[in-house]
Structure 1
Amino acid sequence: MNTEPFWQEWPAFNDKNDSIMKGSFFLAVFILFGSLLFTCTRQNDTSIDIRNYYFPLKELTEGMVYEYDFVGNDSIAPDYWYYRSLIQDGKTYLTSTLYRPGDLSPQIHAREIMVRNGMLLDEIFFYEKDTSGRPEQLQVPVKIVAGNVYPFYVQNPGGVFLLRIEWKSALDTLEKTVLIKNRRFAGMTTFEFEGKKHPAVKFALKEAIEVNKNGLFAPAPYPGDETFIKGIGKVHYRKFVGNQIVEYKLAKRYPMSELEKKFKSMQQQ
């Protein structure tokens, strides 16, 4: 079995005082992303400023829950993401936590740092349930190889922004997983939220997951897209995995206190 990754690895971007990095396609190998040029994103006369389409950091100092509904199946629980911004040692961060439906146990916790032309993933943890029956969750540290999350300046046609993370399961340390996500600016658009159309930006995605345990399991990369509304942030995301569509749309935003009441009500039912 071939154990070589089917996407070319890009150098990690570790200098948080510098800028977010990007690359561009060779069209002849678009499908497999076999070769990618490594260049640096810089603001110039042809750049499009999309800073205000990301999450509104100035408005999130007290935190806000974004409730995303699964599209096409009401029986699937929403995603509850809690976003909060903070300034620490002169640096601006955005934290995000995905909560399990019905309780306040986190599934994912991440922290992004703002650099001069984008947002970089600074740290991330996954949480696994202890299979021994104990109520404690197991924290899984994640290695960030390339942490590009969101660029403030893009060009059309745009280059590719790479996110690559790696981790080992706390329940099975022989199992190593790699997530590779390439984002490409797909243009300006509009998106309806709360009955009103808003200016928005759209990114095309290409994702892949490699699981290595007794050999490499690496299914074909799958496409997707994300949409961000000006002044609100991410409002829609979907992935096309085989013949299935995994799609979520922002339904509402509210304070953490409302989520606590919602989960308490669920537990009492």
Structure 2
Amino acid sequence: MERSLFSAIFLLLGSLLFTCTRQNDTIDIRNYYFPLKELEEGMVYEYAFVGNDSIAPDYWYYRSLIQDGKKYLTSTLYRAGDLSPQIHAREVMVKNGMLLEEITFYEQDTTGKPEQLLVPVKIVAGNVYPFYVNNPGGIFLTRLEWTWKQDTLDKTVLIKNRRFGGITTVEVEGKKYDAVKFGMKEAIETHKNGILAPPPYPGDETYAKGIGRVHYRKFVGNGVMEYKLAKRYPMAELEKKFKEMQ
């Protein structure tokens, strides 16, 4: 499996000038998630790999929509080389957060043609982002289960635990923003001739007010996989960039 798809699956799913609403020790962090109103026309978020310019960025395309009176956010991760999709997901807004409603992974087959890998992904727990948190707060769980299309005996389970890590500030595109941070632990289990369950990987992610996710990283052994938001632009610009690379 490619590095970017592998990392994306794991990574799927006080005195500061911070304007949040507190009621009964609850912090309202709705405005730190992706701005659904501004994403109605869609926007590419280009995340640069930190520490190694030779590694291609992650290109995520976010777009919101309203259907049957519900608000949704769709996201697609595109392969840097040929702009073929690797992951596509849809979240639905509920009163206390965003829930993962469906997700599909893609992989190149032996001929190089993009092919849907898993049908379907079972969403056991689909907590993506809470609108209200306490500090310290509880754990928000995402758990996905699937069977690889090329190996129907290989069941995989992804478990991601998020915990609110506090308020902070970040610099994005040359400007400072108020932000919220989450600590994470991610684990992936392989069920084939027994259960292979390596220790969970620690990590964290940061969401800036009015922008959404601007930073994410995972510590694997002695290494780190870290991405930071570098640019935002319409899909037409990404398509132009792809044509220029041909």
TM-score where L is the length of structure 1: 0.81
Match of 2:113 in 1: 135
SS at match of 1:261: helix
Q: How far apart, in 2, do the equivalents of 1:173 and 1:235 lie? A: 36
- Structure 1: runs of 5 or more not aligned: 1-42
Q: Which of residues 165, 169, 173 in structure 2 aligns to 1:190?
A: 169
SS at match of 2:90: strand
1:46–1:173: structure 2 CA closer, same or farther, 3 Å change rule? same
Q: How far apart, in 1, do the equivalents of 2:209 and 2:151 lie? A: 42
Match of 1:213 in 2: 192
Are residue 228 (structure 1) and residue 220 (structure 2) matched?
no
SS at match of 2:121: strand
* Larger CA Rg, structure 1 vs 2: 1
Deviates more, 1:43-52 or 1:147-156: 43-52
Match of 2:241 in 1: 262
Q: How far apart, in 2, do the equivalents of 1:136 and 1:224 lie? A: 29
Q: How far apart, in 1, do the equivalents of 2:205 and 2:114 lie? A: 33
Are residue 61 (structure 1) and residue 40 (structure 2) matched?
yes
Number of residue pairs matched by the alignment: 224
Match of 1:5 in 2: none
Match of 1:52 in 2: 31
CA offset digits 1:90-116 (Å, max 9, x no partner)? 000000000011222110000000000
8 A contact 2:84–2:114 mirrored in 1? no
8 A contact 1:130–1:138 mirrored in 2? no
Note the C-alpha offset of 1:122: 0.3
Match of 2:160 in 1: 181
Q: How far apart, in 1, do the equivalents of 2:205 and 2:62 lie? A: 17
Note the C-alpha offset of 1:139: 4.1
Are residue 113 (structure 1) and residue 113 (structure 2) matched?
no
Note the C-alpha offset of 1:66: 0.2
Moved over 2 A (4+): none
Letter in 1 for 2:229: L
Match of 1:168 in 2: 147
Identical pairs, percent? 77
TM-score where L is the length of structure 2: 0.89
Letter in 2 for 1:176: K
Match of 1:80 in 2: 59
- Structure 2: runs of 5 or more not aligned: 1-21
CA offset digits 1:41-62 (Å, max 9, x no partner)? xx95211000000000000000
SS at match of 1:182: strand
Deviates more, 1:115-124 or 1:101-110: 101-110
8 A contact 1:55–1:232 mirrored in 2? yes
SS at match of 2:243: helix
Deviates more, 1:114-123 or 1:190-199: 190-199
Note the C-alpha offset of 1:136: 4.5
Note the C-alpha offset of 1:201: 0.2
Q: How far apart, in 2, do the equivalents of 1:44 and 1:116 lie? A: 16
Q: How far apart, in 2, do the equivalents of 1:208 and 1:99 lie? A: 23
Q: How far apart, in 2, do the equivalents of 1:98 and 1:195 lie? A: 25
